[in-house]
Amino acid sequence: MILEHHVNHQVAVDLDSAEAFEGPEKLLEVWFAPNAESLQGTNKSLRNVSTAQWEKLLDIVQCKVLSSVHTSMLDAFVLSESSMFAFPHKLVLKTCGTTTLLVGIPKMLEIARTIAGFGKNATPYRVFYSHKTFNCPEKQAPPHKSWKDEVSYLDSQFDNGKAYLVGDITSEQHWYCYVTGHDDHEEVAAHKDHVISSHDETMEILMTDLLPSRAQQFFTDRLPGDANNAGFQHKQELLVGVEHVVKAETDSATSSDSEGNAPACAGTCKADPGHVLGAYVSTQSGIADIYPRNKASVAVDSFCFTPCGYSANAIVDSGYYYTIHVTPEQHCSYASFETNVPAKEYGMSNIDVIEKVLNVFRPGKLSVTLFEAENNSLQDCHQFARHLDGYKRTDKVLYEFDGYQMVYVCFEAIKGRK
């Protein structure tokens, strides 16, 4: 399943999250084609771009690559501030803190047009940008200080954009979204078969006020820069039952055994403590078990920050992903979950997935956003918005975009959560 895995040991060992304050991420998806199938037979692909070339973009955004996983279908990067995923046809970039995500758009377009082979006049097929309300918007760098400034910047880069404020504006749960349409009817018609046949859904869960006992598992006593701090060696021995992608110091590719089974890293990982602790937390918290491993091949690339915090990219059957990021400090506790895994293909509903995620964190408040292609069942969206056990629904919004339908739902925990 995993063709390559790389760890940036120096950045991973020295990283210090003590000054982190802004958990809610900025999420940007830029599509250059409807799907990967529509690019077959061409030399166009964002996977033509090397890690070193992506790092030039990330330097502008102000984050670093901690590790990366490369399968036959996607490249996944755990970043110092969240995650990035490169598919042949789209880039998903999610960053937290005071990162300047939108400022990286010109460099992203340059990379797509030149290195990825889309051509000097290529324009994105679709763009999605979103985030929940920031905790400290005044600490953000331009253009992220206000939604008005962000929209103005996005409009300067893209055509046909529409901006939305979703949910109760008097609540901390409201959510901002910017979406571009596509007015090239000839191109849309040419890709029509691909669009209809290709499954497309993304679900995001944004959680605050984590139950303290659940948040505590994302703290560590390791010191920044300490690659030999004891207290994590015994945890390596507990890593069983899942392919945790923690790269050996030799930087050789992860291999399978004689029967083709992906390896666990129990007792064999020589990686930095952050990645080893990340793998341990992934197993012990239940994060590695959100999708059934008897029906899916799951590889988890995860990292525990010091003194606290956690990031993980999980690759499901080479081509799907889910990503989790946690800021566990009690005064601003936050966790996010995002996935493009079609739950039905693994014998689950989206409700099942949500309940598994909630069991990891037990948040006091959460919002759930589901984007689905129009060819999916609208009935699924309505079913998805029902009440969850232990929570009451406080808001529900349905939108129809160009080619997509979206449901946005907010919940609060009923008193007595455990």
Active site residue ranges: 22, 25, 82, 96, 311, 325
In whole angstroms, give the CA distance from residue 238 to residue 388. 33
339: CB partners within 8 A, 6+ apart: 202, 203, 320, 321, 322, 323, 353
Give the C-alpha separation, 65 to 306, whole Å: 16
Looking at 198-250, list the stretches that DSSP marks H as alpha helix, in order from N- to C-terminal side: 212-215, 233-236
Cβ atoms of 334 and 23 closer than 8 Å: yes
70 to 3, 5, 170, 253, 302: CA distances (angstroms):
6, 6, 42, 10, 14
Cα-atom radius of gyration of the chain, to the nearest Å? 20
Q: What residues contact residue 393 under an 8 Å CB cut-off, 6+ apart?
A: 385, 386, 387, 409, 410, 411
> Which residues is 395 bridged to in the sheet?
410
Sign of CA dihedral 34, 36, 41, 45: positive
State in Å, rounded, how far the first CA of the chain is from the last one.
Answer: 37
